[in-house]
């Protein structure tokens, strides 16, 4: 029997995340995706862009008959450690200046450096110190905030074979806001974790009138 999701009760970091939910939510509400301009060199963006676009294009090539077969994907930097992904289908024009084209936004808060220590980004340092401090001894590889905008979908894709990815629901609207891993649908819940192997093909949709916000944590399998 294939296991599409990881049992969160067997991951200590999930218990830690759920117990820290109020701290994390308070940090998020202070930030609330209020735009911060920062043109400082961002050493993480190039890797982030390659990994996410490659995963989407590889999935598209494997499934030429999908609804995404004519899609193009583009990742851009809104500010230091704040990234957005856009998708065009059937020749639709993309523009960095229009947030309505964004199918996903991610804000990197902290990630391990070459010495295996968590290194905070400017946004992590300014808004999420309590969150990062709560997770610093749990062995996480990276901590990120993820927004799935109202009315948007993320096409099927795969990530890193060596990573388990954990979503902690922060703001989860009522209605059809759904995560799918290898054909199995799950619903996010505020204050609860959802975990999966990043290499398994997964997708997401938000058919509600509100944005969905998660904390995203990566650990080594």
pLDDT (tens, 9 = 90+) of the chain, 221 residues, equals 468 899 999 999 999 999 999 999 999 999 999 877 777 888 888 888 887 777 676 666 666 445 666 677 788 888 899 999 887 765 455 555 556 778 999 999 999 988 989 999 999 999 999 999 999 999 999 999 999 999 999 888 888 888 999 999 999 999 999 999 999 999 999 999 999 999 898 999 999 999 999 999 999 98
Global pTM? 0.90
CB 77 within 8 A of CB 123: no
**C-alpha–C-alpha distance, residues 194 and 190, integer Å:** 10
Q: 8-220: which CATH topology?
A: Jelly Rolls (2.60.120)
Structural domain spans, the chain: 8-220
**C-alpha–C-alpha distance, residues 102 and 100, integer Å:** 6
**C-alpha–C-alpha distance, residues 14 and 17, integer Å:** 5
Q: How many helices (H) and strands (E) does the chain have?
A: 5, 12
């Amino acid at each position: 029997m294939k296991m599409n999701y990881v049992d969160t009760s067997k991951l200590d970091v999930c218990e830690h995340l759920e117990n820290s939910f109020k701290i994390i939510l308070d940090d998020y509400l202070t930030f609330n995706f209020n735009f911060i301009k920062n043109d400082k060199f961002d050493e993480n963006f190039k890797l982030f862009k390659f990994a996410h676009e490659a995963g989407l294009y590889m999935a598209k090539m494997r499934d030429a008959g999908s609804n995404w077969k004519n899609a193009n994907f583009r990742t851009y930097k809104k500010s230091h450690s704040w990234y957005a992904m856009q998708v065009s289908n059937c020749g639709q024009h993309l523009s960095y200046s229009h947030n309505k084209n964004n199918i996903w936004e991610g804000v990197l808060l902290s990630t391990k450096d070459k010495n295996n220590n968590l290194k905070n980004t400017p946004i992590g340092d300014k808004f999420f110190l309590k969150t990062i401090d709560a997770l610093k001894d749990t062995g996480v590889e990276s901590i990120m905030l993820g927004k799935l905008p109202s009315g948007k979908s993320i096409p099927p894709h795969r990530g890193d074979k060596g990573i388990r990815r954990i979503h902690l629901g922060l703001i989860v609207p009522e209605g059809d806001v759904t995560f799918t891993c290898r054909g199995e649908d799950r619903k996010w819940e505020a204050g609860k974790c959802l975990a999966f192997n990043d290499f398994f093909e997964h997708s997401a949709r938000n058919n509600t009138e509100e944005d969905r916000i998660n904390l995203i944590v990566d650990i080594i399998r």
